[in-house]
Amino acid sequence: MISEGVKAPDFTLPDKDGNQVSLSDHLGKKVVVYFYPRDNTAGCTKQACAFAGAYKEFEKLGVTVMGISKDSVKSHQNFAAKYELPFILLSDPELKAIQAYDVWKEKKLYGKVSMGVVRSSFIIDEKGMIEKVMEKVKPDSNAAEILEYLTKE
Protein backbone atom coordinates (compact mmCIF):
# COMPACT_ATOMS: atom_id res chain seq x y z
CA MET A 1 0.00 0.00 0.00
CA ILE A 2 1.21 3.48 -0.79
CA SER A 3 2.03 5.60 2.22
CA GLU A 4 1.12 9.13 3.23
CA GLY A 5 3.46 11.94 2.25
CA VAL A 6 4.49 10.49 -1.13
CA LYS A 7 3.56 11.73 -4.60
CA ALA A 8 0.28 10.16 -5.73
CA PRO A 9 0.77 8.02 -8.83
CA ASP A 10 -0.80 9.84 -11.77
CA PHE A 11 -3.25 7.98 -13.98
CA THR A 12 -5.38 8.61 -17.04
CA LEU A 13 -8.52 6.47 -17.28
CA PRO A 14 -11.86 6.69 -19.11
CA ASP A 15 -14.87 7.94 -17.16
CA LYS A 16 -18.42 6.62 -17.54
CA ASP A 17 -18.81 8.63 -20.76
CA GLY A 18 -15.50 7.48 -22.25
CA ASN A 19 -13.71 10.80 -21.59
CA GLN A 20 -10.08 10.50 -20.47
CA VAL A 21 -9.57 11.82 -16.94
CA SER A 22 -6.13 12.30 -15.39
CA LEU A 23 -5.39 12.82 -11.73
CA SER A 24 -2.90 15.55 -12.74
CA ASP A 25 -5.79 17.53 -14.31
CA HIS A 26 -6.98 18.17 -10.75
CA LEU A 27 -3.80 19.68 -9.28
CA GLY A 28 -4.71 22.68 -7.15
CA LYS A 29 -7.72 20.84 -5.66
CA LYS A 30 -8.02 18.14 -3.05
CA VAL A 31 -9.08 14.83 -4.56
CA VAL A 32 -10.62 11.78 -2.92
CA VAL A 33 -9.82 8.63 -4.89
CA TYR A 34 -11.66 5.57 -3.70
CA PHE A 35 -11.11 2.09 -5.08
CA TYR A 36 -13.95 -0.41 -4.91
CA PRO A 37 -14.41 -4.02 -6.11
CA ARG A 38 -17.44 -3.95 -8.40
CA ASP A 39 -20.43 -1.94 -9.66
CA ASN A 40 -23.89 -3.01 -8.49
CA THR A 41 -22.77 -5.20 -5.60
CA ALA A 42 -24.31 -4.57 -2.17
CA GLY A 43 -21.27 -3.00 -0.48
CA CYS A 44 -20.14 -1.00 -3.50
CA THR A 45 -23.64 0.37 -4.05
CA LYS A 46 -23.85 1.42 -0.37
CA GLN A 47 -20.46 3.13 -0.65
CA ALA A 48 -21.31 4.91 -3.92
CA CYS A 49 -24.69 6.08 -2.59
CA ALA A 50 -22.99 7.40 0.58
CA PHE A 51 -20.59 9.43 -1.57
CA ALA A 52 -23.54 10.63 -3.68
CA GLY A 53 -25.42 11.65 -0.53
CA ALA A 54 -22.40 13.61 0.73
CA TYR A 55 -21.48 15.03 -2.69
CA LYS A 56 -22.75 18.56 -1.99
CA GLU A 57 -20.53 18.68 1.12
CA PHE A 58 -17.50 17.60 -0.92
CA GLU A 59 -18.36 20.27 -3.50
CA LYS A 60 -18.60 22.96 -0.80
CA LEU A 61 -15.11 21.98 0.33
CA GLY A 62 -13.85 22.11 -3.26
CA VAL A 63 -12.98 18.40 -3.23
CA THR A 64 -13.17 16.20 -6.34
CA VAL A 65 -14.41 12.64 -5.79
CA MET A 66 -13.30 9.79 -8.06
CA GLY A 67 -14.38 6.16 -7.75
CA ILE A 68 -12.26 3.55 -9.53
CA SER A 69 -12.96 -0.10 -10.25
CA LYS A 70 -12.06 -2.55 -12.99
CA ASP A 71 -15.60 -2.42 -14.40
CA SER A 72 -16.17 -1.30 -17.99
CA VAL A 73 -17.18 2.20 -19.08
CA LYS A 74 -20.65 0.79 -19.96
CA SER A 75 -21.00 -0.78 -16.50
CA HIS A 76 -20.10 2.57 -14.89
CA GLN A 77 -22.58 4.35 -17.14
CA ASN A 78 -25.39 2.04 -16.01
CA PHE A 79 -24.29 2.16 -12.33
CA ALA A 80 -24.15 5.97 -12.31
CA ALA A 81 -27.54 6.29 -14.05
CA LYS A 82 -29.25 3.73 -11.81
CA TYR A 83 -28.13 5.42 -8.56
CA GLU A 84 -27.78 9.03 -9.83
CA LEU A 85 -24.10 9.18 -8.96
CA PRO A 86 -22.84 12.76 -9.48
CA PHE A 87 -19.10 12.13 -9.09
CA ILE A 88 -16.45 10.76 -11.45
CA LEU A 89 -16.37 6.99 -12.00
CA LEU A 90 -13.26 5.67 -13.73
CA SER A 91 -12.83 2.37 -15.52
CA ASP A 92 -9.55 0.51 -14.93
CA PRO A 93 -9.91 -2.96 -16.54
CA GLU A 94 -6.14 -3.19 -17.08
CA LEU A 95 -5.54 -2.45 -13.36
CA LYS A 96 -3.16 0.46 -14.09
CA ALA A 97 -4.24 2.72 -11.22
CA ILE A 98 -5.41 -0.21 -9.09
CA GLN A 99 -1.90 -1.71 -9.14
CA ALA A 100 -0.14 1.69 -8.92
CA TYR A 101 -1.99 2.30 -5.64
CA ASP A 102 -1.32 -1.27 -4.53
CA VAL A 103 -4.94 -2.15 -3.81
CA TRP A 104 -4.99 -5.35 -5.94
CA LYS A 105 -4.56 -8.00 -3.27
CA GLU A 106 -5.22 -11.59 -2.39
CA LYS A 107 -8.63 -11.89 -0.75
CA LYS A 108 -10.26 -14.77 1.10
CA LEU A 109 -13.98 -15.35 0.97
CA TYR A 110 -15.52 -18.48 2.46
CA GLY A 111 -12.11 -20.15 2.38
CA LYS A 112 -11.64 -19.41 -1.32
CA VAL A 113 -8.61 -17.31 -2.25
CA SER A 114 -8.78 -14.90 -5.20
CA MET A 115 -7.30 -11.61 -6.33
CA GLY A 116 -9.38 -8.46 -6.09
CA VAL A 117 -9.59 -4.81 -5.15
CA VAL A 118 -9.31 -4.09 -1.44
CA ARG A 119 -11.74 -1.24 -0.72
CA SER A 120 -9.43 1.71 0.01
CA SER A 121 -9.55 5.51 -0.10
CA PHE A 122 -6.87 8.11 -0.62
CA ILE A 123 -7.02 11.84 0.03
CA ILE A 124 -4.66 13.64 -2.31
CA ASP A 125 -3.69 17.22 -1.55
CA GLU A 126 -3.55 20.21 -3.90
CA LYS A 127 0.08 19.45 -4.81
CA GLY A 128 -0.63 15.84 -5.78
CA MET A 129 0.77 14.31 -2.59
CA ILE A 130 -0.99 11.56 -0.66
CA GLU A 131 -2.30 13.20 2.49
CA LYS A 132 -4.31 10.33 3.96
CA VAL A 133 -4.59 6.60 3.29
CA MET A 134 -7.63 4.66 4.48
CA GLU A 135 -7.31 0.90 4.06
CA LYS A 136 -10.05 -1.72 4.21
CA VAL A 137 -12.75 0.91 4.65
CA LYS A 138 -16.37 0.15 5.46
CA PRO A 139 -18.73 0.94 2.57
CA ASP A 140 -21.42 2.73 4.57
CA SER A 141 -19.15 4.95 6.68
CA ASN A 142 -16.25 5.73 4.32
CA ALA A 143 -17.67 8.97 2.83
CA ALA A 144 -18.61 10.30 6.29
CA GLU A 145 -15.17 9.45 7.71
CA ILE A 146 -13.48 11.32 4.85
CA LEU A 147 -15.73 14.35 5.33
CA GLU A 148 -15.03 14.32 9.06
CA TYR A 149 -11.28 14.23 8.36
CA LEU A 150 -11.51 17.05 5.79
CA THR A 151 -13.56 19.34 8.03
CA LYS A 152 -11.29 18.84 11.08
CA GLU A 153 -8.26 20.25 9.26
Residues belonging to the active site: 44
Instruction: Tell me the CA distances in angstroms from 22 to 13, 55, 107, 123, one per residue in order.
Output: 7, 20, 28, 15
Long-range contacts of the stretch 102-108 (C-beta < 8 A, 24+)? 102/1, 102/2, 103/1, 103/35
Amino acid sitting at position 106: E
